[in-house]
């Protein structure tokens, strides 16, 4: 079978790109021919497995007529990007026309048997309009739902076409309900398939006996991920035996703020920058505690990687986080109450102060547990949870009900 995969942004660097790459690998292993359309920055040289370079077509930004940074599904991306909410009418028109041209050319040249797009947003809507007769499935990654809420002026352009997509692939039960509510899509066409992680990379080594106790955050350096609140919490903990490791990058003023804050705290905060999966697996193997203070997530696969790596986990009580880890022993995972926000992922100074206090208390309590028992004791529990989230298992669920099975 010929599968056309479509992503509007870099096919690397973010959760949706990581998801896409694993779908390409799985499809190739099953003998299918992959074709790819993706948006990239002009100077970007993507490294992609599972698809021949001759079957890749890119929409390139920062060159006319797309003479602006690539719009990101998150408002803060790990590379220079634009925000959909800030695009002018001329930029939006150029964006639509560029993708229409490349998608139309690919459909004519490749005649795919099935289309797998990512995000219930503009490019998936364009694809459905151009190819109404080709079976199509779209993976939701939650950032699309956020853009739908942040950009009401664009809802009309995506609402009807996205309702005509044959199958919607959701990461979690909560996300499936949000898709049904926001888009009015028949729940019978929404499948909860989850996400996966690289089981060959992430495993549980013997943890070093502290001190130091190593805390790890991995992800974008942004306020929506709670990194500023995490640094505020860490700065107030008077425990010289704690180290906070930050793995990830960002762009713009938010990333710059986080980096300046980390430097002010001093050498107990270790900056690793953007890391690949192998390096992240190494850091998780060394970490005693993984912390995800995010204000908005779908199904955070990084929590599965941390769990498989034997990390105790501190995370906000988002629905996707609870869906993954609610059955884990509370000596191994701590859920921080989600602060009441005045926008989707922004905190007022009062809200941030309260949130930072909650984070600091949880970090101190979990550090005490690490001192008593550096290595986790829940091996059977970890295996029961993580085996549902291999990429092979996810791919099998995606194939269910399609001609690709």
pTM, full prediction: 0.85
pLDDT over 90 (residue 322)? yes
Q: Give the span between the Cα atoms of 289 and 303, in whole angstroms.
A: 11
**Nearest partner of 270 among 237, 236, 245, 242, judged by Cα:** 245
Q: What is the pLDDT of residue 405?
A: 43
pLDDT in tens, 274-289: 999 999 999 999 999 9
Q: What share of the chain is helix, strand, coil (3-state, %, to 5)?
A: 45, 20, 40
- For the record, the structure tokens of 307 come out as 């769990």
Q: What is the pLDDT of residue 78?
A: 85
Q: Give the span between the Cα atoms of 315 and 112, in whole angstroms.
A: 41
Q: What is the pLDDT of residue 343?
A: 66
Higher pLDDT, 325 or 376: 325
Higher pLDDT, 345 or 398: 398
Q: Please say whether the beta carbons of 148 and 182 come within 8 A.
A: yes
Q: Give the span between the Cα atoms of 5 and 139, in whole angstroms.
A: 11
pLDDT in tens, 45-80: 878 989 999 999 999 998 889 999 999 998 888 888
pLDDT in tens, 22-52: 999 999 999 999 999 999 998 888 789 899 9
Higher pLDDT, 377 or 85: 85
Q: What is the pLDDT of residue 403?
A: 55
Q: How far is CA 370 from CA 205, 363, 364, 365, 393, in A?
A: 15, 10, 10, 9, 32
Q: How far is CA 392 from CA 57, 326, 387, in A?
A: 26, 24, 10
Q: What is the pLDDT of residue 63?
A: 85
- For the record, the structure tokens of 359 come out as 């984070």
pLDDT in tens, 169-216: 999 999 999 999 999 999 999 999 999 999 899 998 899 999 999 999
Q: What is the pLDDT of residue 111?
A: 94
Supply the mean pLDDT for the chain.
Answer: 93
Q: What is the pLDDT of residue 383?
A: 86
Q: What is the pLDDT of residue 349?
A: 87
Residue 213 burial by CB count (10 A; 0-12/13-18/19+): exposed, middle or buried? buried
Q: What is the pLDDT of residue 342?
A: 66
pLDDT in tens, 261-314: 999 999 999 999 999 999 999 999 999 999 999 998 878 889 999 999 999 999
Torsion of CA 8, 391, 294, 16, to 10 degrees: 0
Mean pLDDT, range 116-139, rounded to an integer: 98
In percent, the amount of the chain with pLDDT more than 90 equals 78
């Amino acid at each position: 079978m010929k599968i056309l995969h479509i992503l509007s942004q870099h096919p690397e660097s973010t959760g949706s790109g990581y998801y896409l790459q694993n779908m390409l690998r799985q499809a190739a292993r099953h003998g299918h021919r992959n074709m790819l359309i993706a948006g990239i920055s002009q100077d970007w040289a993507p490294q992609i497995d599972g698809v021949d370079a001759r079957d890749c077509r890119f929409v390139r930004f920062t060159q006319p007529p797309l003479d602006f940074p690539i719009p990101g599904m998150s408002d803060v991306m790990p590379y220079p990007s634009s925000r959909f909410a800030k695009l002018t009418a001329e930029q939006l028109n150029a964006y639509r026309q560029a993708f229409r041209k490349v998608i139309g050319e690919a459909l004519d040249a490749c005649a795919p048997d099935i289309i797998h797009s990512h995000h219930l947003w503009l490019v998936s809507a364009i694809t459905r309009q151009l190819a109404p007769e080709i079976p199509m499935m779209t993976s939701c990654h939650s950032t699309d739902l956020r853009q739908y809420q942040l950009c009401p002026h664009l809802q009309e352009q995506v609402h009807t076409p996205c309702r005509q997509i044959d199958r919607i692939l959701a990461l979690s039960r909560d996300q499936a309900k949000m898709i049904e509510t926001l888009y009015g899509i028949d729940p019978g066409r929404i499948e909860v398939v989850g996400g996966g992680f690289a089981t060959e990379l992430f495993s549980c080594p013997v943890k070093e006996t502290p001190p130091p106790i190593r805390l790890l955050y991995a992800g974008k350096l942004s306020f929506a991920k709670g990194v500023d609140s995490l640094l505020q919490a860490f700065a107030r903990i008077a425990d010289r035996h704690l180290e906070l490791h930050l793995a990830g990058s960002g762009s713009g003023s938010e990333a710059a703020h986080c980096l300046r804050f980390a430097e002010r705290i001093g050498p107990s905060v270790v900056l690793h920058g953007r890391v690949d999966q192998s390096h992240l697996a190494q850091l998780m193997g060394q970490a005693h505690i993984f912390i995800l203070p995010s204000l908005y997530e779908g199904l955070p696969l990084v929590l599965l990687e941390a769990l498989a790596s034997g990390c105790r986990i501190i995370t906000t009580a988002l629905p996707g986080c609870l869906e993954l880890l609610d059955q884990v022993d509370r000596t191994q995972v701590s859920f921080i109450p989600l602060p009441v926000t005045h926008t989707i992922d922004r905190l007022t100074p009062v809200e941030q102060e309260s949130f930072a206090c909650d984070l600091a208390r949880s970090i101190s309590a979990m550090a005490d547990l690490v001192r008593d028992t550096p290595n986790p004791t829940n091996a059977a529990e970890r295996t029961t949870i993580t085996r549902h989230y291999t990429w092979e298992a996810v791919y099998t669920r995606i194939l269910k009900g399609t001609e690709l099975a």
